[in-house]
Amino acid sequence: MIAIVRIRGEAGTRRDIIDTFKMLGLKKIYSARLIEKTPSNIGMVRKVANFAAWGEASEEIEKILEKPRGLKPPKGGLKSKKYYYPRGNLGYCGDKINDLIKKMI
């Protein structure tokens, strides 16, 4: 399973990106979702990579995300909302997405 967390809002965003967020079920900032690792889902995630962080979820995080949809801002803050991982928090984070989600619970 893949965990995806929306980090940025939608001010000034193209309509197709907003629609992709709605299809993924990420309507608000700091919302999270678990999705299956299929080619169509990966394509949608890559389309919104400028606005979200994603990676492989551990079993512990899968159990946690089944309950809460909305998360809090991360304790200790984000590295950056403008740069990709490892310099910032956007894009593919691998298994480090688990650490980010733990900070946001």
- Amino acid, res. 86: P
3-state secondary structure of 97: helix
CATH fold of 2-104: Ribosomal Protein L30; Chain: A, (3.30.1390)
Give CA–CA dist 44/9, Å, rounded: 17
Q: Per-domain residue ranges for the chain?
A: 2-104
From first to last of the 105 residues of the chain, give the pLDDT tens digit.
Answer: 999 999 988 888 899 999 999 999 998 999 999 999 999 999 999 999 999 999 999 999 999 888 886 788 988 888 888 888 988 889 999 999 999 999 998
Q: 2 phi and psi, to 5 degrees?
A: -115, 135
Burial (CB count <10 Å: 0-12, 13-18, 19+), residue 89: buried
Residue with tokens 């949809």: 69
